Structure 1
Amino acid sequence: MQSNKLSDDVEGNPDRVDPFYQQGKVACVMFTVLLLLSFLVIGIVTALNFKKNSQEDQTRGLLSDDITPIPFQYKGDRGLCSDGWVLYRNTCYLIMNVYGTWELSKSLCHNFGAHLMVVNSEEELEFISRVVQKRTDYWIGLKRDTMGQWSWVNGDHYHSNPHFWDENQPAHWDMESCAHLKGSDTVHRKLMQDADCHRQLYHICERKL
């Protein structure tokens, strides 16, 4: 009886909307919206995964053994060092032509069984200055922690030798916490400066014989 009454009401009043039809219409709209949102989420996730995979592929490529050192300006004695490395006393050095952050440069050196260069003496610094390109900056294995303390990547104790730092360096307390050798045409020996660890620089690896 109720169904017949509802049908009679609809037929008697053409402007009256069937509530079942209205509910079905709302449900259809909601389903369409949810479907579009699902496609949007899938698209975003796919794009993020593609970007992540591309970055991982790029990093794996950088960590491969196909990386070649830049041509040396100084023809040093390779000695017992591997091809592409140069010998100074009992240490082999590799000058890398790969731009990277300080952390990536550290990983690349580790891939060669080495670590970022640790400056032990003024004589060593002068030697490296003759090997590398004059105008180019190079990451070395010195970093400042959140407490403001500098430390070398190989665990050596840090000595604040004024001959290693450039004038008025290190300068920035918060923003620049990684050390690099500054390129210059005016000095015969490269000096250390602090820099933002996310800068893209070349780097120097070293390993003991």
Structure 2
Amino acid sequence: MAYESLAGVILAGGKSTRMASQDKGLLLFDGQPMALRVALALEGVADVVFINANRNIELYRELGFEVISDVERHHDKGPLSGLFTCLQRVETSHLLVSPCDTPRISTAAFLALQVASIEKPNQIHYLTGESGFHPLHAILPTNAALLKLDGFLEQKNRNSVMAFYEFFGCASVVWGKGEELLNVNTPDELS
């Protein structure tokens, strides 16, 4: 499989339990919704950008992007539910994903993933930095990943993103700008 085209998706479908169940993607960071900040970075590399959300759908649409909600199949598998849904919906050779709660992520970080995927298009590539693995910043070959993920999720208690990547075949892309990988999980981190 060759790298031909790229869809980007912001994963904003979580329950946000550590943020008092507030929808993290809609919370403001430096005056903008976090999901919008991520979407703008994705636009610099992806052919089309979507938001994966399961609540506040209209508010997400107001950000200017199509919203994809999780399908019933595998709906209770955490971030892998969103990944499965988006792999089903996009029509590109590759899918670039990012969580909604990393508002400092840059287009350059996504470009690094794209370059890795162009060089080795049959693998999943994800970011890693000083703070560890960042598996939800990743690029996947769409059709092959969908097929393998469906089988992976059929097995009981298989909800780990990294376990799926290792099952599929993956490689990390080192990103040295750790501040861009800030994951906002508490209200204090919004300022």
More strand by share: 2
Q: Please classify the TM superposition score into its range, dividing by the shorter chain length.
A: under 0.3
> Normalising by the residue count of structure 2, what TM-score does the alignment of the two structures yield?
0.24
Larger radius of gyration: 1
